[in-house]
Amino acid sequence: MKLLKLTFVLFMAIVLQGMAQDFDLLIKNGHVIDPKNKIDGVMDVAIKDKKIAKVSKNISEKSAAKIIDAKGLIVTPGLIDIHGHHFSGTISHRDYNNSFSALPPDGFTFRAGVTTVADAGSPGWKNFQIYKENVIDRSKTRVLVFINIVGEGMSGVSSREQDTTDMSPKMTAMIARQHPEIIGVKIAHYRGHEWGPYEKAVQAGEIAKIPVMVDLGGADPALPLSTLLFDILRPGDILTHMYGGDHSGHGPKEGTLNAEGKVWPHWFEAQKKGLIFDVGHGGGSFLFRVAVPATQQGFYPNTISTDLHTGSMNAGMKDMLNVVSKMMNLGMSLQEAITASTWKPAQVIQREELGNLSVGAEADVAIFRLNEGEFGFIDSSGAAAKGTQKLETELTLRAGRIVWDLNGIGAKIWE
């Protein structure tokens, strides 16, 4: 009888303990930066059933089954990288389309605090289904897509991407409307001396009600970019590679800077109008000789992104967090850089359920350490610059699950 009573008491103690634990996970004592909700200070973040359950000061440790101590660390929404190339495959001579140059997302996202990527035009409407089955459906990272206006996608700068007969606004928009993972239209690398292909991309965007991202290919002689910025693109459309020198082949008269080293006034005007200027660092599209004077004149990005592929990750770009750190050393505050990597891109791609720590939001969370000292950064030309601060990812949560833990702050000591 005594044994039965003791068993009952132990059972009730376990039940009561379980009832007291309102949360699955509690991040304590971190400096929370959540731009959407205007949170910038030491807070606790509680997670339940893969969702953000509470953000508040001094949440009791007894209320959670697992505790992560983030004292001295920075806690943010998971980063959103809106320019990457993830159509990895095994086909030769296909640039970033089912190719060796593109990268599977999971190996390169979580370690940089990234939980959402948007592929910038690797697939087109003809091969989107392959992309969905091979990349979107197989990745833990949330994968979204800017679908290419070229049906074959980003499969050859010198050939397929110049084929205007393969640019179909109707088919592009139709596929986009069938798949919620498609959040935009991309036009890239077009080298013709006309704006027609860009107009087709915008037409597809109009039909599908999604933004357009432009990666200029160049023209000889250069076309006036003011025409593109004011007569073709719409507020909310995106110009990537904003610090890329002569702007992808449009000549010194049409680069970010004029002959006097000043940012063209119409670039400021376009940004004020509502066009989105994106970093899109890449392997050849970020130069200190452009970025330094441009940022000194107050021309900063709306969104920070990588243009991730095998070439850029092994050169000056490296990863998303390195680009964020680079922009901080060029004058963006920590808060501004986090905004341009979380809440602003979520707004740009019309996915405002992302990029924030609102109660009920999926628990995509990044925890960073801000290191101070002497650091070096490299641009796309191989030029170096010094910096004094650099972010490092300590831990990343995707839908409430730990997917990256650098130093074991989310793990139990083995003893």
DSSP β-ladder status, 238-239 and 276-277: parallel
CA distance linking residue 123 with residue 155, whole number of Å:
8
Residue 83 is assigned to a ligand binding site: yes
Q: Is 186 annotated as a binding residue?
A: yes
How far apart (Å, rounded) are the C-alpha atoms in residues 240 and 118?
A: 13
Round to the nearest angstrom and report the end-to-end CA distance of the chain. 37
SS3 state of residue 46: strand
Largest CA distance in the chain: 96
Tokens of residue 336, six digits = 């501004």
- Kindly tell me the burial class for residue 279, based on how many C-beta atoms sit within 10 Å of its own C-beta (0-12, 13-18, 19 or more): buried
In order, the DSSP letters of 57-87 are: SS--GGGBS-EEE-TTSEEEEPEEEEEE--E
| Distance in angstroms (rounded) separating the CA atoms of residues 92 and 337 | 37
Total H helices, total E strands in the chain = 11, 17
Residue 384 DSSP class: E
How many other C-beta atoms are found inside a 10 Å radius of the C-beta of residue 246?
18
Bridge partners for 143 per DSSP: 117
C-alpha radius of gyration, the chain, whole number: 23
Name residue, tokens 């005594």: 2
> Which residue numbers belong to the known binding site?
83, 85, 186, 241, 307
> Which residue numbers belong to the known binding site for Zn(2+)?
83, 85, 186, 241, 307
